[in-house]
Amino acid sequence: MRLVLSELSGYDPDRFAGLISALLLLNYFSWLVVPATPLALVCLVAVGLAVATHVTGEIGRRRWLMPLAVVGGLLLLFFEPPTDWDARSIWFFQAKRMYFDGSIDARLDDYPGWSHTAYPSLVSALSASVVRLFGIWNEFLPKIALVLTLVPPFVVLLKRCDTTVARLLMLGSILCLTRTQLLIGSMDAHLAVYAVSAIVLLREAFALPDRNAGAGPLVPALLLISCMANIKNEGTAMAVLLLAPLAFWLIVRRRPATVAQLAGIGTLAALPAVIWKFKLTSAKILALFIGDPWERAILRLDDGSWVTILGSLLDATIEPLAVWVVLSQFMPRKLERFPLYFVIGYLGVLFLVYLATPYDLAWHMFMSVGRVTQVVKLLVAVLLVLELQQFVGRMGNSKARTA
């Protein structure tokens, strides 16, 4: 037993997160391309075994937070069936259709019109696999996918915490900021956690000085980014925002062999999103672009609605941004350009989306601004925890030297 545990302790958590992300993507791919085969079930079983192995390894290392988060999360899921509108009408309904229809293609009939057929289904596909494994549909089993899909980002973020205090603070701040969002079945918090963990990995990779270093944290980062693009449509925009500097950095800083390896992995990881977009285009289902988005955008620029959009976006993000700007002045790394670029870019994308929305602007913003800007709060919290850890570590070291 000790031998097994010591073997497990050799695992690199980033690679483990990458593995789970790859399995999630493969599960979604199998629902998209070969739904009649048992590939989706194989992926689900592999995800379950990998998570169980990781949890056992963490217990072996006497780290209790991840096991508690997984087991506690699974127990919490069964307290109440999903009642959130997004969860019922979009995400679990997608899973229900995939389970009963036996494929994802049946959804392209756009039934019923309000369930946002165009949205991608990474988490719903895993829910459908869980239900297929048990052979019955109820309101609880599909929720298991909510916890399993959270494992990769949590593993990445907790790996960066060196002390129990930092791990507690990291987990505490994520759970406190997302509250019930992670377990009710709305995908915004999931997407936010994925985005933050991908940013943390990229930030670390960008800081690597050695041009000849291998792919390092870039492979798990690419896989997490690909997962993001398949969780929600905003995830696609976030993925583009993260991939653009990554591509530039790779071309400038890395050896061609590493670039080719990453390009291969990135292409494979992008397949599910590309296939789904292709299916939607073939079925003439386009979410945001109903009517003429340009005309709506120009109209809203003209009638001053853009001020309302800007005001709402700033209102939702000004507090975390202010906290970040002020506290980062006391931290080892000052206000970092890469996360700041992401925040500004993402807010810009949201601004354009609201400008062109086919829905009533006031209603759309009221329903979504708080949820889609969650990523900014989470990003600030996670970066501050990581910086605080370094800050306290340096203080401790300097005190030790003085003593």
Whose Cβ is closer to other proteins: residue 92's or residue 346's?
A: 92
Whose CA is closest to 377, among 154, 167, 178, 149?
178
360 binds other proteins (CB under 8 A): no
Whose Cβ is closer to other proteins: residue 2's or residue 401's?
A: 401
Q: How far is the CB of 124 from other proteins (least distance, A)?
A: 13
Q: How far is the CB of 147 from other proteins (least distance, A)?
A: 12
330 binds other proteins (CB under 8 A): no
Neighbours of 288 (CB within 10 A): 14
Whose CA is closest to 198, among 153, 167, 244, 233?
153
The site map against other proteins for 384-403 (x = CB under 8 A) is ----x---xx-xxx-xx-xx
175 binds other proteins (CB under 8 A): yes
Q: Which residues contact 270 (CB under 8 A, 6 or more apart)?
A: 226, 229
Residue with tokens 């905003």, as numbered in its chain: 234
Q: Cis peptide before 220, with omega less than 30 degrees from 0?
A: no
Q: In whole angstroms, give the CA distance from residue 335 to residue 384.
A: 10
Q: Judge contact between 68 and 57, C-beta under 8 A.
A: no
366 binds other proteins (CB under 8 A): no
Question: How many Cα atoms within 13 Å fall on the side-chain side of residue 146?
Answer: 29
Using CB under 8 A, pick the residue from 6, 71, 100, 298 that binds other proteins.
Answer: 100
Q: For residues 25-84, which are near other proteins according to CB under 8 A?
A: 72, 76, 78-83
Taking CB under 8 A as the binding criterion, the range among 8-16, 25-33, 174-182, 341-349 that sits at the site for other proteins is 174-182
Whose Cβ is closer to other proteins: residue 15's or residue 394's?
A: 394
Taking CB under 8 A as the binding criterion, the range among 163-171, 208-216, 251-259, 340-348 that sits at the site for other proteins is 163-171
The site map against other proteins for 233-272 (x = CB under 8 A) is ----------------------------------------
Q: In whole angstroms, give the CA distance from residue 216 to residue 258.
A: 10
Determine the 3-state secondary structure of 275 from DSSP.
helix
Ramachandran angles phi, psi of 86, nearest 5°: -60, -45
Using CB under 8 A, pick the residue from 64, 114, 278, 289 that binds other proteins.
Answer: 114
Whose CA is closest to 385, among 198, 252, 200, 206?
200
Which residues of the chain form contacts with other proteins (CB under 8 A)?
Answer: 72, 76, 78-83, 88-89, 92-93, 96-97, 100-101, 111-112, 114-115, 134, 136-141, 162-165, 168-169, 171-173, 175-176, 178-180, 183, 388, 392-393, 395-397, 399-400, 402-403
